[in-house]
Structure formats: structure tokens, C-alpha cells
Amino acid sequence: MNDDLSQFYQVFFDEAAELLAEKERLLLGIDIENPSSEELNAIFRAAHSIKGGAATFGFTDISEFTHVLESLLDKIRRGEMPLTAEHVDTFLAAKDVIAMLLGGHHVGSPVDRQQVAEVSQRLNALADENGASAPQPVAAAAAAVPAAEPVPEPVSQPLPAGTMRKIRIELPETSDKDIAGLTTELGFLGTLDVLRQPDGRVAFSLLTDQSLQDVTAVCSFVVDETKLKISESAAGEPAPATEPEPAAVGVAPPSAPTVAPVAQVAAEVDRRVAKRDTPAPASHESSSIRVNIEKVDLLINLVGELVITQAMIAQRGADLDPVHHEALLNNFAQLARNTRDLQESVMSIRMIQMDYVFSRFPRMVRELATKLGKKVDFITQGASTELDKGLIERIIDPLTHLVRNSIDHGIESPEKRRQAGKAEAGRIVLSASHQGGNIVIEVTDDGGGLHRDRILDKARQNGLPVSDSMTDEEVWQLIFMPGFSTAEAITDISGRGVGMDVVRRNIADMGGTVEIRSVFGQGSTIRISVPLTLAILDGMSVKVGEEVYIVPLAYVVESLQPSAGDLKEVAGQGRLIKVRDDYLPLVYLYELFSIEPHFADPTESIVLVLGVDDRKFALLVDTLVGQQQVVVKNLETNFRKVPGISGATILGDGGVSLILDVSALMRGTV
């Protein structure tokens, strides 16, 4: 790929990806029985924009395929044929083909020619079913425009090769904004004159080699077709010389695509970038830039080191006399505030809205429900909730498995739902919300729920130690055991017992937890809780013997000094401590890590009450050191995995402190 044009190509590929995502979103949400004209026009414009950009850059296979698509979309949006479910399915398949072709040009990924041909044939067949003939491919290097006609449809006679036509566009009523928009769009089609009429109306005189239908379609992007009066006058002027039309065979290699002249490409890209990034007069959208994630990670690491350095300075400052060094200590305090503000701002760069994850599920739900013969209403809540990019990419696979399970195992068939007095369409809700320092994601369905007896029977068959006295929560956790499945038959979707154990392991690796709530016959909710970020956290420093540990502050409920009467030891349940009216499990931290404590008597120590989800337990330590912000270092990468430890950090004195894995302590896995 020409280095001089690489920046222009990247703009096109980025814009095309955004348009495809928007097109898929609109197709999945459209009401087939009563489609909105606004949505149909938006879908058409997405296809048109991709086609125009592909033609500009010489990607003829994309422009020709998209021309077939937009021609069919154009007939639907103009009411010449009704929208059907088959149309939507084919348009979604076409979206996949365009994405595949874009990948072939962008990164050289393989292109399935058979799939391209099959989807193109489906598009042509749909057009033929409605009495339309298959549209002819567009010229590869021409700036493509949609083949839309107003009603009544103007007739544009073919011109001899090498001649231009003169077209007059009159606007009975329009605004200055419409005039500016038409001036910009028509200016790219040929030589344009703007004519002011005596009565104040505006008309345009365009000398172009484009057809009357194409000019009308371009105008319709700015002004309603019914408000336009377009006519063609005689023309016979020679057309300017143009570049020869390149061949349109296959995907051009990424290193040497067929392109329009550099000046034409640059002008077109500048126009597209300006149109995309310049807000409308009434808009308050902020501009944005694309930054390589490696640069962001480097910036976050440097800020992390700055936080450590600031902690070291603060520790040295604690030894200074506040009377003699008041100004210096004030500067230290100001540095601490600025460092924290900088850290929060930099961390927010890596935060991505959950819509990045949620947007990929509507289509998966639609296709899987159709395959299983079920009806599913899919609802998302909290899509604007933000999560660290590193975590949001790792949460995709677990959520995908949980949503698929809800459709396959949870939602019943329409017949069973009718018999149970439910609506034929099941309901799946995917939600996200912030709770403290964590983000909570829930997958809820109103299906059949978990069958307690069936799970226990299957567990016994697998040789698992179970009993009828187990609580529901303990029984539900059995489905996370490796190889466990209650499916009656193995399919390509589920039934092999692979997946739920991986889900829990992946969530645990992120420092999160998974819990299940279910009522038989009414549905289930799977709740995932993960930290907002794994890079920097607020922690409570505690000391046991000569060792300092960090407890994530998000888990700390309260601290207290126990009395002898509050401590109990119950056979079969271990040590307990009474906190007001509750008895909580008591964990001796020095016993877990074989450390010699400063205080052998628990009444001389400090107890931290920690909460994980809806459960609590108590942790016995020697003393509390204080609260501080710490930079998390991966212990497994630099050393090895240590049970009960989620990471490490560097303290202000340069020493290394281990960060406790509170969830692991709660599960008793240490």
C-alpha cells in the first residue's frame, strides 16, 4: 500500500466499520411490519457511503457488491416492495460479506468467494421476485452515487460517450442549511452554478456526466425528493478526460490496490473527514482522535510509576517537622492531589462503554433463536456503563456463553410457554451497573429456571459429593463443575459440559465472582462482578508480623477490635466472631501464610469485616497501617501464581507488598 495514501485508506476503513455496525444495529431493531422511513433511509445511506468510498479508492469488488445491495434497499425505501424477514436476513448476510471484503483489502484476510457469490445471488433473486432486473455493476473508479429516483420518476436518456448533460435543480422552499448542503454535494458531481431567482428562490445549474437519477439521489440526501424540481436540458459538450476504468476482479492485494489519482483520493477523504468530524451548528459533540493502545498502556504505566514516586515522597515528608517545613508539606499535598487527578484522567482513557460488548449480542440472539425455533425479546440496560478495555475484551467470551445458555437452556419453546401461561416470546435482559469499585453484569431470563432435582441427580451420576440438605446456592454452583451438563441431547450449541467451568475460571482470573439466582418455572439470573480496572486500586494497608498486605478498599466494610465474648469456636464451622447480631467466619491471616504475629491474643488485634457480593467474613490482622492508592503489578508474570494473592505493589519505602485476593479467601480456596 502506498505510504502516502495509507492515512486515507485508514480513514475509509474506520468509517466503513462504523457504518456497518450502525447498519446492523438498525436492521436488528427495525419493525418489519411497519418500518420507519427514517431507519430505511439511514440503512440505505450507510450502504451508499460505503459504496462511494470503495469506488473512490478503487475497491471495485466492494463497490459493485454494495451497488446490488443499495439498489434493492432503494426500492424498499421508496415503497416499491415491502420489507420482509428474508430481506433483513439477506441484508445482514450482505453486511458480513462487505466486512469480509474490507478485511481482505485492509489486512489481507481470506475472502470466501463462494459466500460472496451466494449472497449476491440472493440479493438479485429478491430483486427478480419483485419484477426487477439485477442491477449492473458500477464503474470502479467513479465516485458512486445511489440509483434513487423521485416520484414521478424522471427519465434520463443515454448520452453519446464523452458528452456532458446540463441539469437544473429548483427548490420551491428551502433553508440556508439545505442550500449549503446541496452546494457541497452537487459540487462533487460536476461544474455547479447557484442561481438566485427574483422572488428569492434558489436554483442550481449542474454540468455533469452523471445520470439524472443519480443527481436526484444525491439531492435526496439533503432535501426531500418531493420538494425538488429537476429537469435536463440539451447538452453536447465534451466530457473531461478521466482515468481508465480498472478491472474489477477479486480483492486487490493490500500492498497494491487499484486507486483513483492521489489528488482525487485526498480531496474525497478530506471532504469525508470534514463532514464526519465537523459538528452541525446545533451539535455539541466533542471531536476525538484515534490513538494506538500501546501508547495508552505506556502512559498508564508511567502514571503508575508517578503514583509510586509520589507515595515515596509523601512517606519521606511524614518525617518532616510541620512547623519548619509547612510550605514544603503543602506542596507535597498539592502534588498528591494533582497526581490522583492525573491518574483518574489517564485511567478514564482506557474505559470503554459496555455498548462495545452489548452491541454484538442482538444479532447472535436473533439467529440462535431462529435456529432453535424460539422467540426471544433481547433487552440491554446500562450500555453506557464503562469498564477498562483490558477487562471488557476478556468479558466478551463469558457473556457470550451465558447468553447462549439462556436461549438454549433457559427460554422454552413457544408451545411450552403457552402451556405455562407465558408470552410466546421469552425475555432476556443483559444489564450492567457500577457498585462501589466493581461493575456488576447480569444475564436474566424468564425461562424455565434451574431444576434442582435434575442437577442433584446428574451430580450423583458424575460421582460428586452432594446431599439433599444442600442449599439452592450450593446446588446452582454445581453447574460450574467441569464436564457437568443436564442437556438431554448433545448439539452444536451445548450439551458437552464444556463452558460454564471456563466461564467461572475466566471471571476469577479477572478478580471477579459469579453467582446464580433461579426459581424453577420463572427464570434465572447470573450475576458477574468484576473490578473496574486491574491497573490501580485504592487499598487498605494491614500489618501481620513484619509483613504488610494490601486489602482492596472496595471490599472493606468496617474494622473493629474484638472482645473475648465475641469470639466463638463451633464444631464443624470453625472460628466465628459476633458482629452486632451476625456471626461471621473469622480468618486468621497469619495462619494462612505461616507468619509469626505480633499479637497472639486476638483481643489485641484488629478485625476487618470484608464483604463479597452479599456475603461477609472477618479477617484478623495485627494493625492497620493506612489507606493508600497502589499500582497493581502482575505477580504471576514476574514470579508465579500464589493462592490467596491477586497481585503485588511497591510501597513508598520501596518494599514489595502483596495484594490479597478477597474473593479467594471467601471461597476458602487458600
Q: Are strands 536-544 and 547-552 parallel, antiparallel or unpaired?
A: antiparallel
pLDDT of 274: 53
pLDDT of 7: 57
Contacts of 362 (CB under 8 A, 6+ apart): 25, 28, 29, 378
Order of all β-strands in the sheet with 229-233: 190-196, 202-208, 165-171, 229-233
Contacts of 215 (CB under 8 A, 6+ apart): 145, 167, 169, 186, 189, 206, 208, 230
Spatial separation of the C-alpha atoms in residues 159 and 311, rounded to whole Å: 78
Q: Based on the domain organization, do 383 and 321 belong to the same domain? A: no
Spatial separation of the C-alpha atoms in residues 670 and 648, rounded to whole Å: 17
Spatial separation of the C-alpha atoms in residues 635 and 74, rounded to whole Å: 58
Spatial separation of the C-alpha atoms in residues 444 and 526, rounded to whole Å: 7
Which domain CATH number covers 557?
2.40.50.180
Rg (the chain; Cα; Å): 32
pLDDT of 569: 83
Q: For residue 581, what is the DSSP state?
A: T
pLDDT of 172: 67
Q: Average pLDDT of each block of 10 consecutive residues along the chain (670 residues)?
A: 56 84 87 86 86 80 87 86 89 91 88 90 80 39 35 42 73 68 72 74 81 75 72 54 37 42 52 49 52 81 84 85 89 90 82 86 89 91 86 86 90 92 92 82 92 87 82 85 63 52 80 86 90 76 92 88 87 82 89 88 90 82 87 76 84 83 71
- Residue identified by cell 431462529 is 370
Cell of 138: 458500477
CA 341, 345, 350, 355 dihedral sign is: positive
pLDDT of 175: 67
What are the Cα distances from residue 336, in Å, to 96, 312, 317, 650? Answer: 50, 11, 12, 17
Spatial separation of the C-alpha atoms in residues 610 and 59, rounded to whole Å: 59
Q: Is 80 inside any structural domain?
A: yes
Q: Based on the domain organization, do 496 and 563 belong to the same domain? A: no
Q: Is 558 inside any structural domain?
A: yes
Q: Is 187 inside any structural domain?
A: yes
Q: Is 269 inside any structural domain?
A: no
Task: Show the domain range for 36.
Answer: 3-129
Q: Is 91 inside any structural domain?
A: yes
pLDDT of 493: 54
Q: Which domain-ending residue is among 531, 566, 599?
A: 531
Spatial separation of the C-alpha atoms in residues 493 and 484, rounded to whole Å: 15
Q: For residue 238, what is the DSSP state?
A: B
Chain-centroid distance of CA 98 in Å reads 20
Grouping H, G, I as helix, E, B as strand and the rest as coil, residue 509 is helix
Spatial separation of the C-alpha atoms in residues 268 and 238, rounded to whole Å: 24
Q: Which domain-ending residue is among 129, 153, 184?
A: 129
Q: Based on the domain organization, do 10 and 101 belong to the same domain? A: yes
Which domain CATH number covers 203?
3.30.70.260
**Length of the chain measured in residues:** 670
Total of domains in the chain: 5
3-class SS shares of the chain: helix, strand, coil, % to 5 = 45, 20, 35
pLDDT of 416: 92
Q: Are strands 375-381 and 202-208 parallel, antiparallel or unpaired?
A: unpaired
Are 550 and 658 spatial neighbours (Cβ–Cβ below 8 Å)? yes
Are 208 and 165 spatial neighbours (Cβ–Cβ below 8 Å)? yes
Residue 477: which of 522, 442, 451, 515 has the closest Cα?
515
Q: Based on the domain organization, do 414 and 461 belong to the same domain? A: yes
